């Protein structure tokens, strides 16, 4: 009969609609991927930088296999964490905003005038007035103290690289790590 056929079509439409509504509603959504925090990336940057202690200093180089100069070292370490920095210390300083040294945190970059030219040397701040850098005078990547007469006399300032997930640099101190 015609009414039996219409009833069958109505039931079929109802079943299809119900399955579509509940089927779509119960589809699991993929878990959001966590955005790396500034703190976690800075900790990784510091650990990576310290793991390279003892690698030889080589002017113009930027790999553990061939050695590092100061900016090649910093560029290599930050590049491993998705932060693209210019190649020279001067270009790094020019591209990053200055930071009040009272807000300095591990992972920030510290800049020096070691050749009579501003921003001729760069290192990665570790906390407790220590920084890691590729030293031409010592011939390797090592940790030095900012408050020694040589480094305090040549210190120019601090800059903070930003990761693509962080947005603009923070002007507020977000905790400190000490090594």
How far the first Cα of the chain sits from its last, in Å, is 86
Rg (CA), the chain: 27
Helices (H) and strands (E) in the chain, counts: 5, 8
Q: Output DSSP code: residue 101.
A: G
81 as an active site residue: the answer is no
The answer to whether 76 and 68 are in contact (CB under 8 A) is yes
Q: Which helix (H) or strand (E) holds 143?
A: strand 140-145
Q: State phi, psi for 3 to the nearest 5 degrees.
A: -70, -35
Catalytic position from the list 133, 154, 163, 165: 133
24 as an active site residue: the answer is no
Residue 121 forms beta bridges with which residues?
Answer: 112
Catalytic position from the list 24, 70, 163, 165: 70
Count Cβ atoms below 10 Å from residue 146 Cβ, excluding itself.
19
List the catalytic residues: 70, 121, 133
């Amino acid at each position: 009969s015609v009414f039996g056929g219409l009833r069958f079509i109505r039931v079929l439409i109802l079943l299809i609609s119900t399955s579509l509504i509940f089927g779509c509603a119960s589809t699991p959504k993929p878990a959001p991927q966590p955005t790396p925090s500034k703190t976690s990336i800075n900790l990784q940057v510091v650990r990576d930088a310290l793991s390279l202690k003892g690698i030889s200093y080589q002017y113009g180089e930027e790999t553990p296999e061939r050695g590092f100069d100061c900016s090649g070292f910093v560029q290599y370490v930050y590049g491993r964490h998705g932060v693209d920095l210019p190649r020279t210390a001067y270009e790094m300083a020019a591209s990053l905003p200055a930071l009040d040294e009272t807000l300095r945190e591990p992972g920030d970059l510290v800049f020096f005038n070691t050749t009579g030219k501003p921003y001729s040397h760069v290192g990665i701040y570790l906390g407790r007035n220590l920084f890691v850098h590729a030293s031409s005078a010592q011939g390797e990547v090592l940790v030095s103290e900012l408050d020694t007469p040589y480094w305090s006399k040549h210190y120019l300032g601090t800059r903070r690289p930003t990761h693509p997930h962080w947005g603009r640099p923070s002007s507020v101190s977000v905790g400190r790590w000490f090594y």
